[in-house]
Amino acid sequence: MRILVADDSRDAVESLAMLLEFEGHTATVAHDGEEALSMAAIEPPDVAILDIGMPGTSGYEVARRIRAQPWGRAMLLVAATGWGQEEDRRRALEAGFDRHLIKPMDVTELAQSLPRWLEDKRAALAG
């Protein structure tokens, strides 16, 4: 799968992208919300894993703006955040995220779950 990973923590985003590639995916990296939006518009990925707390354009805003585009409706959006309260989960779903994951994540489990989650998303849109 083509995966866009966006996080303002350079170490975190580079590490996650590298591990996803090790699991067989193609990963591209964005270091802020505007860069993530620009990259997604140029070549929409199958999946976007977005940090919620990016400065400037937050992950919530990135998700809303992606969902507003025709090319963004079928994209699997995964929130990756240190914020795990029920209110945080609710806000993520309202912004358009399909999944809400708490950092640190098990990358092997994430990489193995993504194809199933994407398939579920596509099936829900089709029917």
16 pLDDT higher than 80: yes
Does the predicted TM-score (pTM) go above 0.75?
yes
> Model confidence at 112, in pLDDT bands (50, 70, 90)?
confident
Q: Which CA distances in Å does 47 have to 57, 66, 85, 86?
A: 19, 11, 24, 23
Q: Which tops the pLDDT comparison, 51 or 81?
A: 51
CATH homologous superfamily of 2-126 equals Response regulator (3.40.50.2300)
Read off the pLDDT of residues 17-47 as tens digits, 9 standing for 90 and up: 999 999 899 999 999 999 999 999 999 999 9
The reported pLDDT for the residue numbered 127 is 80
**Long-range own/partner contacts, residues 35-39 (CB < 8 A, 24 or more apart):** 35/6, 36/4, 36/6, 36/62, 37/62, 37/65, 37/66, 39/4
The reported pLDDT for the residue numbered 111 is 86
Average pLDDT, stretch 46-63?
A: 95
Q: Quick one: 67 exposed, middle or buried, by C-beta within 10 A (0-12, 13-18, 19+)?
A: middle
Segments making up each domain of the chain, as ranges: 2-126
Rounded to whole angstroms, how far apart are CA atoms 118 and 102? 19
Read off the pLDDT of residues 66-102 as tens digits, 9 standing for 90 and up: 999 999 999 999 999 887 889 989 999 999 999 999 9
